Amino acid sequence: MTTRRRVSGRVRVAAPRGALPPDESFTLFTPRGEERWVHGWHPRFPVDGADDTEPGTIFETVHDGETTTWVVLACEPDRHISYARVTPGRRAGTVSVDIGDDGTAAVTYDLTALTGEAARDLDAFATAYPGYLRSWEEAIAAHLS
């Protein structure tokens, strides 16, 4: 049986001097921007010099031995970016990030598991999602300090 989970939450983006403005917060959620604060995040772009926020841009990541292909679906600079993502045989769906006027990020994952085993993993991800976003806040704060 497969499972679809939609989870959403807010990430406070703050440096020692206070909340970041929207344009600075936004850059932290682009493929290359996440590389600055996400341990093990190394996006690979099949097209050299690709603009990592241009709709249609494709990149891959590897995490725990799984390769995920990402496609930038939409981008409104400094405010919104959304991605389609597929991990073959595991899960597929979308991720969107919306930056508020206060620099916080609303992050939404809408994922479907493609196998029963992946469904159990997706259920665990959904349950742990609030803690997952707290770990993002901590990693961003450490990067900015």
Question: For residue range 88-110, what is the model confidence (pLDDT) as tens digits?
Answer: 999 999 999 999 988 899 999 99
pLDDT surpasses 80 at 19? no
- CA–CA distances in Å: residue 118 to residues 75, 91, 132, 136: 29, 7, 18, 23
Q: Locate tokens 């707290």: which residue?
A: 134
pLDDT of 25 higher than 70: yes
Q: In the chain, what are the domain boundaries? A: 4-144
CATH superfamily of the 4-144 domain:
START domain (3.30.530.20)
pLDDT of 113-123, one tens digit each?
A: 999 889 999 99
pLDDT of residue 49: 79
Give long-range contacts, CB 8 A cutoff, 24+ apart: 53-58: 53/77, 53/81, 57/31
Kindly tell me the sign of the dihedral angle through the C-alpha atoms of 142, 111, 96, 104. Answer: negative
